[in-house]
Amino acid sequence: MDDSLWLWVLLLIVVVAVAAIVVWALIARRKRLEAARAEAQVIRQRAQGGSAVAASAEERARDLQQQAREAQQQADQLHEQAEDATRVAREERDHVTGELLEADAVDPDVKKRR
Protein backbone atom coordinates (compact mmCIF):
# COMPACT_ATOMS: atom_id res chain seq x y z
CA MET A 1 0.00 0.00 0.00
CA ASP A 2 1.16 3.40 -0.57
CA ASP A 3 1.62 6.03 2.11
CA SER A 4 -1.41 8.13 1.18
CA LEU A 5 -3.73 5.14 1.60
CA TRP A 6 -2.29 4.50 5.06
CA LEU A 7 -2.80 8.13 5.86
CA TRP A 8 -6.46 7.97 4.77
CA VAL A 9 -7.04 4.77 6.78
CA LEU A 10 -5.40 6.32 9.82
CA LEU A 11 -7.47 9.48 9.37
CA LEU A 12 -10.65 7.40 9.07
CA ILE A 13 -9.77 5.50 12.26
CA VAL A 14 -9.19 8.80 14.09
CA VAL A 15 -12.51 10.23 12.83
CA VAL A 16 -14.41 7.07 13.85
CA ALA A 17 -12.71 7.11 17.27
CA VAL A 18 -13.58 10.79 17.83
CA ALA A 19 -17.17 10.15 16.70
CA ALA A 20 -17.41 7.20 19.09
CA ILE A 21 -16.08 9.33 21.95
CA VAL A 22 -18.59 12.11 21.16
CA VAL A 23 -21.48 9.62 21.01
CA TRP A 24 -20.34 8.03 24.29
CA ALA A 25 -20.12 11.49 25.94
CA LEU A 26 -23.62 12.43 24.70
CA ILE A 27 -25.07 9.15 25.98
CA ALA A 28 -23.36 9.61 29.37
CA ARG A 29 -24.66 13.19 29.57
CA ARG A 30 -28.20 12.06 28.77
CA LYS A 31 -28.02 9.40 31.49
CA ARG A 32 -26.81 11.98 34.03
CA LEU A 33 -29.64 14.33 33.06
CA GLU A 34 -32.23 11.54 33.35
CA ALA A 35 -30.85 10.56 36.76
CA ALA A 36 -31.00 14.19 37.90
CA ARG A 37 -34.59 14.51 36.66
CA ALA A 38 -35.57 11.30 38.45
CA GLU A 39 -33.95 12.54 41.67
CA ALA A 40 -35.73 15.90 41.31
CA GLN A 41 -39.05 14.06 40.89
CA VAL A 42 -38.42 12.01 44.04
CA ILE A 43 -37.58 15.20 45.95
CA ARG A 44 -40.75 16.89 44.64
CA GLN A 45 -42.89 13.94 45.68
CA ARG A 46 -41.26 13.89 49.12
CA ALA A 47 -41.84 17.65 49.40
CA GLN A 48 -45.50 17.21 48.48
CA GLY A 49 -45.85 14.59 51.20
CA GLY A 50 -44.12 16.98 53.57
CA SER A 51 -46.53 19.69 52.46
CA ALA A 52 -49.43 17.62 53.79
CA VAL A 53 -47.57 17.15 57.06
CA ALA A 54 -46.84 20.88 57.21
CA ALA A 55 -50.50 21.72 56.54
CA SER A 56 -51.55 19.35 59.31
CA ALA A 57 -49.02 20.93 61.69
CA GLU A 58 -50.23 24.41 60.76
CA GLU A 59 -53.84 23.37 61.43
CA ARG A 60 -52.83 21.98 64.82
CA ALA A 61 -50.94 25.17 65.59
CA ARG A 62 -54.01 27.27 64.73
CA ASP A 63 -56.17 25.09 66.98
CA LEU A 64 -53.71 25.35 69.85
CA GLN A 65 -53.44 29.11 69.41
CA GLN A 66 -57.22 29.39 69.56
CA GLN A 67 -57.29 27.26 72.71
CA ALA A 68 -54.56 29.44 74.21
CA ARG A 69 -56.56 32.61 73.43
CA GLU A 70 -59.65 31.11 75.02
CA ALA A 71 -57.66 29.98 78.06
CA GLN A 72 -56.15 33.48 78.35
CA GLN A 73 -59.63 35.02 78.25
CA GLN A 74 -60.81 32.61 80.92
CA ALA A 75 -57.72 33.36 83.01
CA ASP A 76 -58.40 37.09 82.67
CA GLN A 77 -62.00 36.57 83.82
CA LEU A 78 -60.86 34.45 86.76
CA HIS A 79 -58.30 37.10 87.67
CA GLU A 80 -61.01 39.76 87.69
CA GLN A 81 -63.21 37.51 89.84
CA ALA A 82 -60.33 36.92 92.23
CA GLU A 83 -59.68 40.66 92.45
CA ASP A 84 -63.37 41.27 93.20
CA ALA A 85 -63.40 38.51 95.82
CA THR A 86 -60.26 39.95 97.42
CA ARG A 87 -61.84 43.42 97.51
CA VAL A 88 -65.03 42.02 99.11
CA ALA A 89 -62.99 40.03 101.65
CA ARG A 90 -60.92 43.10 102.50
CA GLU A 91 -64.05 45.21 102.94
CA GLU A 92 -65.63 42.50 105.11
CA ARG A 93 -62.43 42.21 107.18
CA ASP A 94 -62.37 46.00 107.61
CA HIS A 95 -66.04 45.93 108.69
CA VAL A 96 -65.40 43.14 111.22
CA THR A 97 -62.35 44.94 112.56
CA GLY A 98 -64.38 48.13 112.86
CA GLU A 99 -67.10 46.31 114.79
CA LEU A 100 -64.51 44.74 117.10
CA LEU A 101 -63.02 48.16 117.78
CA GLU A 102 -66.50 49.53 118.42
CA ALA A 103 -67.25 46.65 120.83
CA ASP A 104 -63.98 47.32 122.63
CA ALA A 105 -64.90 50.99 122.91
CA VAL A 106 -68.24 50.10 124.46
CA ASP A 107 -67.01 47.26 126.75
CA PRO A 108 -66.31 48.60 130.28
CA ASP A 109 -63.81 45.78 131.00
CA VAL A 110 -61.69 46.73 128.02
CA LYS A 111 -61.82 50.36 129.12
CA LYS A 112 -60.36 49.36 132.54
CA ARG A 113 -57.43 47.54 130.99
CA ARG A 114 -56.38 50.57 129.05
Q: pLDDT by residue (tens digit) across 64-109?
A: 999 999 999 999 999 999 999 999 999 999 999 988 888 878 878 7
Q: What is the pLDDT of residue 48?
A: 83
Q: Return the closest-CA partner of residue 12 out of 1, 2, 20, 22.
A: 20
How many CB atoms lie under 10 A from the CB of residue 79?
10
How many CB atoms lie under 10 A from the CB of residue 44?
10
**Boundaries of every domain in the chain:** 3-81
Q: What is the pLDDT of residue 82?
A: 96
User: If you average pLDDT over every residue of the chain, what do you get?
Assistant: 90
The dihedral formed by the CA atoms of 109, 112, 113 and 114, expressed in degrees to the nearest 10? 130
pTM of this structure: 0.49
Query: What residue type is assigned to position 79 of the chain?
Result: H
What's the distance, CA 104 to chain centroid? Answer: 67
Q: Are the beta carbons of 110 and 104 closer than 8 angstroms?
A: yes
